[in-house]
Amino acid sequence: METVKHQKWWGWGEEGLEFTYEDKPKFAGFLLDNVGVDVHDSASATPDFDALPVPEPVLKPALKKALAAIVGEENLSTDTECRLVHSFGRGVVDLIRLRQPDLGRMCDVVCYPGSEDEVVALMRAAVKSRSVLIPYGGGSNIVGALSAPRGETRTVISVDMGRMNTVLSIDAASGLALIQAGVLGPDMEEQLNAQGWTMGHFPDSFTWSTLGGWIATRSSGMQSDKYGDIADMTRGLRMVTPDGILELHPLPSTASGPSVREMVLGSEGRLGIITSAWMQVHRVPAKRTIQGYFFPTYEAGLKAMEEIAASDAAPSITRVMDKYETAFSIANGKQSSPMDHFLNQAVQKLMSMKGWNLDDACLSLIGFEGSSRHVRYEKGLVDAIISRNGGMGVGTGPGTLYDQKKYDVPYIRDFLLDRGIPADVSETATPWRYMAQMHDETIAAAHRAMERAGVQGYVMCHLSHSYHAGACQYFTFAVNDSSNSMLDTYYTVKKAIQQSFMDNHGTVSHHHGVGVEHAAWLPQDISTTGIRFQGLLFDGVDPDHNLCPRP
């Protein structure tokens, strides 16, 4: 399908786009000091496509013919690169498996339906032929949800929704747009913006994730404080299930429970394939600004965000980096970046005068949207709270930089992986009361795990989404292990972090989903009775586990 864009098969994003340290004078030193890797040493090359032991597709001619009759010959592919792209998410585990190579159970065929009717026909064909269906959006999944279980003997059909990529209609009075599920973030915003609207949903994966994927994984974007999580924005939807089409017409709210809408949200392909949704959209605001602040400590930043959440102010973004992530941000800056500018001159002097320990200083970004007057009013409320907690404003420089680079992090991850440094992210949400404890315990747990594994590594964290009752904390970690046990080392740290989430009043994931990678912790989160409730749905709707079967 030439009209559907794909990421490079071996890493994040488009071919040709890569992270470079060469315009960031502090980066190499930072990496050497903190992870023990010299960027000037040779990096591993792109995995060798021709050397990959790609198995022949398990696909009987009759089924292939039936699938081609549904979507058209030109919208079906058994091409090796196409199958590779559709069999792996962009999580570090999937990328490591591609490099080992350990291809597991790849999909056999990729279908690109162009309409809901075709999705219905694919669903019927899959159930009838006892095949497996795995819906595919932008491929950004990092919880292992795109691969079929090892040992799956049935035909595995990847359903790429990329042709269903249109904003179908906008109900301007209600601020609702009917949008096809396969649209990628930038394409969707472009269509909305052209009519003066925005959905306000900007997850880190924005460039390579789709509406259907966001709904299926309960995604959350960086402006969720104002626009809500995807669960709040999704007001109606259509999903093709083995039983027929689930149709939920758009509603601002309803008392009919248990909420079927909420059964679809986070269903991760296991109840059906979402084809379209009625989403909340907003007029592009007159004014949008991201203000930078510094706090003397992370705890002070957390306290300020807690107070903002309880105040009359309602900013669009609340973000505080801990000292480790602040240091990384500075090291990741270009010489001429606003970050450098602010830290090198007046600000550092002021911090010293205030008696701050400069190594503890934490960068915070607060976003405001609305009319100019509203932004001024809210910024006034927030500034007072930040001052009261010892913070200080540093203007729009860091925010501007953040806005430019916010989607670039996965490219750094791939750069590090090329150098034997597996890096990943884990995030959770916690009531305010446990935020500092969660942070300190998780950082410590990660370091203990690195010590156990005998590797050098780095872990850092930021608060990324605030609510009345608490917030999300987003941890990023990297370990120096280019050996064959890279994956074991990775899991030692990853598991320590996830267990710390459970031990410190957190949830298994705030917005990356459960998938395969986080499933082991779910009983500790929603209790075994909760697992049983979910199982009743999965087993009842899909008794033969044709849909995204789990290992």
| Contacts (CB under 8 A) with its own copies, residues 244-303 | 244-260, 262-268, 271, 280, 282-283
Q: Confirm or reject binding of residue 209 to its own copies (CB under 8 A).
A: no
Q: Please list every residue from 27 through 86 that binds its own copies, using CB under 8 A.
A: none
Whether 153 and 60 have beta carbons less than 8 Å apart is answered as no
Q: How far is the CB of 188 from its own copies (least distance, A)?
A: 18
Look at the block and give the residue holding tokens 């592919």: 77
**Binding-site size, its own copies (CB under 8 A):** 87
Residue 489: enclosing H or E segment and its boundaries?
helix 486-503
Closest-CA residue to 361 (of 326, 396, 392): 326
* 387 is a contact residue toward its own copies (CB under 8 A): no
Contact flag: residue 528 with its own copies (CB under 8 A): yes
CA distance 24 to 438: 32
Kindly state whether residue 409 participates in binding its own copies, applying the rule CB under 8 A. no
Give 189 or 225: the residue with its C-beta nearer to its own copies. Answer: 225
Round to whole Å and give the CA distance between 82 and 57: 12
CB of 369 to its own copies, least distance (A): 9
Exposure string over 216-236, b if 16+ CB within 10 A, otherwise e: bbbbbbbbbbbbbbbbebbbb
Per DSSP (E only), the strands in 371-520 are 392-395, 423-431, 457-466, 470-479
Cβ neighbours for 355, distance < 8 A, ≥ 6 positions apart: none
- Shortest distance, position 414 Cβ to its own copies, whole Å: 24
What is the greatest pairwise CA distance in the chain? 77
According to the binding rule CB under 8 A, does residue 117 interact with its own copies?
no
Kindly write down the DSSP assignment for every residue of 222-234, as one continuous string: TTHHHH--HHHHE
**Min CB(136)–its own copies separation in Å:** 19
Please select the residue that binds its own copies; options are 3, 130, 536, 551, rule is CB under 8 A.
536
Only segment of 7-15, 356-364, 428-436, 476-484 that touches its own copies (CB under 8 A): 428-436
Asked if 512 interacts with its own copies (CB under 8 A), we say yes
Candidates 166, 241, 437, 482; binder of its own copies (CB under 8 A) is 241
- Closest contact distance (angstroms) between CB of 500 and its own copies is 15
- Nearest residue (CB) to its own copies, 152 versus 299: 299
Q: Out of 112, 298, 402, 474, pick the active-site residue.
A: 474
Among 140, 276, 318, 509, binds its own copies (CB under 8 A): 509
Report the residue from 45, 51, 62, 173 that binds its own copies according to the rule CB under 8 A.
Answer: 173
Catalytic-residue membership of 474: yes
- What sign does the dihedral 239-244-250-251 (CA atoms) show? negative
Note the Cα 154 to chain centre separation in Å. Answer: 30
In this structure, the dihedral spanned by the alpha carbons of residues 39, 13, 225 and 215, taken in order and rounded to 10 degrees, is -140
Tell which one of 60, 65, 452, 532 touches its own copies (CB under 8 A): 532
Among residues 14, 48, 117, 243, which is the contact residue for its own copies, using CB under 8 A?
243
Instruction: Please tell me whether residue 306 binds its own copies under the rule CB under 8 A.
Output: yes
What amino acid positions are annotated as catalytic residues? Answer: 474
